[in-house]
Structure formats: C-alpha cells, structure tokens
Amino acid sequence: MANEIIGNLDGQKLRIGVIVSQFNETITARLLKGAREAANSHGIKEENITIVFVPGSFELPAAASKMLETSNWDAVVALGCVIRGETPHFDLVASESARGIGEVSRKFGKPVIFGVLTTNNMDQALARSGGSAGNKGFDSMSTAIKMVGVLDGIEKFTNINGATE
C-alpha cells in the first residue's frame, strides 16, 4: 500500500504572515478580506495573523524573506494584483514576484503562497477577488494551511522512516 501525505484545513495552532501589496489596493483589500475569512473559517486565531503592507507586488518576496528570517511563522501568504498595461512592465513584475516568492519558499522550507492576481484588465481582477470567479485571497490562505500540513507530514514521515535515496 502506498504512503499518502495530505494536508488538512485545521489552522488552530498556526501562525500565518500575510503580505499585501498596496498597489491596486481596491483589489488587494478584497484579497485580504478573503484571506482573513479563510483564516477565521479554518480556526486561525486573529492574534496569530500578522499583516504586512508593501508598496507593490515586486516587493512581496523581500518582505516574505525578512519575515521568515526573523520570526517563526508557519506560512506566509503573499497577496497582490498586477494588471496588464501597454508596456512590458506587467511581465517583469509578474514574473519576478512569482520567481521571488518561489525562491523564498524553497530557501526557508516553508509555504510562501503566490496569491498575486495577474490579469489582463480590472474586470478580471474584480472577478477573482470576490466576484464571479471566487476570491483568490481565500484560496491562497486555504492553500497555506494545507501546505503546512503537507510539509509537516513529509518531515514526520522522513523522521520515522529515515532518509531515502
């Protein structure tokens, strides 16, 4: 029989950092609201959530790195919104924020969740921040909670069974 490791949505003992981009604040405020709703519905105590605001999505990885370097959060959720414009700026910011967030997660071995909307227009952003397509802030917080359980499960399995090659 195969070994299975799966995360759950029990956040009662978790400490979660949430980093929110202030650029496109109309959207990121909605993402934050969704993240807080998910945290509440999955049992995370309000005092175990730390919210940090940064100027834009490009700054999310630096803040996530500093948070994990200086304290013991179980996971970090990075929320932002980059809307395509007339120049390549969109591609640079979206790509670098995604790359940086992934890099921080690998460096610290903790979930750092990419909750950055990358949309073609404001209507798409509104739809994904509490509109017809749900709320990616809610989804990102739920993913963070599950990933804490997944990574803990992998660590426990490895400790019990020894490292494999």
Q: Which pLDDT tens digit goes with each residue over 71-119?
A: 889 999 999 999 999 889 999 999 999 999 999 999 999 999 999 999 9
pLDDT value, residue 162: 67
> What DSSP assignment string belongs to the chain?
-----------TT--EEEEEE-TTHHHHHHHHHHHHHHHHHTT--GGGEEEEEESSGGGHHHHHHHHHHHS--SEEEEEEEEE--SSTHHHHHHHHHHHHHHHHHHHHTS-EEEEEEEESSHHHHHHHEEETTEEHHHHHHHHHHHHHHHHHHHHHHHHHH----
Query: Does 89 participate in catalysis according to the annotation?
Result: yes
Check 13, 66, 89, 156 and give the catalytic one.
89
Using an 8 Å Cβ cutoff, are 41 and 27 in contact? Answer: no
- Asked if pLDDT for residue 163 goes beyond 70, the answer is no
The mean pLDDT of 145-156, rounded to a whole number, is 96
The Cα–Cα gap between 127 and 105 comes to 28
Answer yes or no: are the C-beta atoms of 21 and 81 closer than 8 Å.
yes
CATH assignment, 16-155: 3.40.50.960
For the stretch 24-64, pLDDT in tens is 999 999 999 999 999 999 999 999 999 999 999 999 999 99
DSSP β-bridge partners for residue 135 = 129
Q: How confident is the model at residue 159 (pLDDT cuts 50, 70, 90)?
A: confident
The pair of structure tokens assigned to 137 is: 């802030």
* Whether the Cβ atoms of residue 30 and residue 129 lie closer than 8 Å to each other: yes
Q: What's the whole-model pTM score?
A: 0.94
pLDDT in the model for residue 161: 73
